[in-house]
Amino acid sequence: MKYSLFTVTFAGFWGQHRLTLEEAIDKTAELGFEGVEIMGKRPHLSPLDYSLEDCKRLRERLDEKGLKLAAIAGYTDFTGGMESAEVPFPEMQIAYVEALAQRAQILGGDLVRIF
């Protein structure tokens, strides 16, 4: 078992200090954790903001800090939009999870949390 920290801790959602993803990774290592669970949305690892190339650089940072990726936390709602069948909402959710899975693989992980 590896003790890991979830980057939502540093997202600033509940009035705490807000750190960028890179700063959150640095802080996680500084605090002595072995791994990190990365929030798969803004302000951290949104597929809209982090390309696969960006993730390769992020992997280097994780390696430099001695951290392993515990998971990427996806935020999905597979039942949303069911009343509007013409809107491809389920397909968008699947594409989002696929994008997170690609990023998890590059970052050295094999787990995407979906809920």
pLDDT per residue over 5-39, tens digit each? 999 999 999 888 899 999 999 999 999 999 999 99
Q: What is the CATH number of the domain that holds 79?
A: 3.20.20.150
pLDDT per residue over 36-84, tens digit each? 999 999 999 999 999 999 999 999 999 999 999 999 999 999 888 878 8
Domain count, the chain: 1
Cα angle vertex 70, ends 36, 38, to 5°? 50
Contact of 44 with 109, CB cutoff 8 Å = no
pTM of the predicted model, to two decimals? 0.93
**Residue 15, domain extent:** 4-114
What's the CA gap between 72 and 80, in Å, rounded? Answer: 21
